Amino acid sequence: MLTYIVKRLLGMIPTLLLVAVVVFLFVHMLPGDPARLAAGPEADQATVELVRKDLGLDLPMHQQFVRYFSHMLQGDLGTSLRTKRPVSTEIADRFLPTLYLTFASMIWSVMFGMIIGIVSAVWRNKWPDRLGMTLAVSGISFPAFALGMMLMQVFSVNLGWLPTVGASTWKHYILPSLTLGAAVAAVMARFTRASFVEVIQEDFVRTARAKGLSERTVIIKHALRNAMIPVVTMMGLQFGFLLGGSIVVETVFNWPGLGRLLVDAVTQRDYPVIQGLVLLFSFEFILINLIVDVLYGAINPCIRYR
């Protein structure tokens, strides 16, 4: 197992290098002049050129990439064009709010999604199944920004129960986590149902029932573990999407996280911050996939890695 993990970690290096090249080329294709934005609208052309030279944007593209790449190998992601702070500091300041929001969203969405999926599979084609899948389709279909604004209108404006912006108390996490996790809960419910429907039709489940075991024991002890592998795969992917894709929700709730930082960076053409965030999101996805693969062995002892 250790050898497998080391090989996977080493395999991350060329992937991240490729991502770095693609992202560097992409951000430099964005419209707008970052030197003009950094200098301000009142600056004359001479000032803009001085700012461009100070930022290193006057160099040819290949020289800019070589400088960026050499600094990245040393752990230096550059300096923000907006705040003049190191990109690593900018990301570190915003990382924990996004991580906590992601965990809060993931916990309730996975729990409710799996419960709905299991109930729908056990009572397939009956009213619990129809009700659960109706809720799942509704969660997938409803846009996150619309759900967030509706929750704010009801629970913040009309009832006054919960705050709308900020991340200082546990109450601030309720509405954003509900908004962010709604689609994940829906996906988990549908995926869990499909996995359980397949498993409960297997011979070993029929054998367990024939032995006189209770339905609860059959579902929890025999069916659950065998149905978990595809569910864990989807869980890992959804966690990666939540951690790197909470841009809309963070914008709606003015959340001080990575998603809002990325929006601000794109608006201001802050190249180093954009590149640093995309590299971070790519690393997160690769690392989560590795964790999911390791969990396969814990769920099913028959799976072995070399």
Instruction: Answer whether residue 305 is part of any domain.
Output: no
Q: What share of the chain in percent tops pLDDT 70?
A: 91
Q: What pLDDT, on the 0 to 100 scale, is given for residue 128?
A: 81
> Where in the sequence is the domain holding 137, given as residue range(s)?
91-299
269 pLDDT higher than 80? no
Q: Is residue 12 part of a domain?
A: yes
* 198, burial (CB in 10 Å: exposed 0-12, middle 13-18, buried 19+): middle
Q: State mean pLDDT over 153-165.
A: 83
- Mean pLDDT score, 30-54: 73
Rounded mean pLDDT of 251-278?
83
Q: Which residue among 73, 101, 129 closes a domain?
A: 73
**In a shared domain, residues 266 and 293:** yes
Q: What is the mean pLDDT of residues 273-290?
A: 82
| pTM for this model (two decimals) | 0.76
The domain boundary, picked from 73, 103, 123, lies at: 73
Q: What is the pLDDT of residue 129?
A: 82
Residue that terminates a domain, selected from 73, 101, 118: 73
pLDDT at 127: 84
What local confidence, expressed as pLDDT, does residue 60 receive?
78
| Confidence (pLDDT) at 24 | 78
- 63 and 101 within one domain: no
| CA atoms of 46 and 93, how far apart (whole Å) | 34
* Residue in the block written with tokens 């799942």: 136
Does residue 202 sit in the same domain as residue 69? no
Q: Do residue 121 and residue 60 come from a single domain?
A: no
143 and 247 belong to one structural domain: yes
Are residue 268 and residue 145 in the same domain, yes or no?
A: yes
Give the model's pLDDT for residue 202: 77
Are residues 253 and 170 part of one domain?
A: yes
> Once rounded to an integer, what is the mean pLDDT over residues 244-259?
80
CATH of the domain at 123: 1.10.3720.10
CA dist., res. 87 & res. 84, Å (int): 9
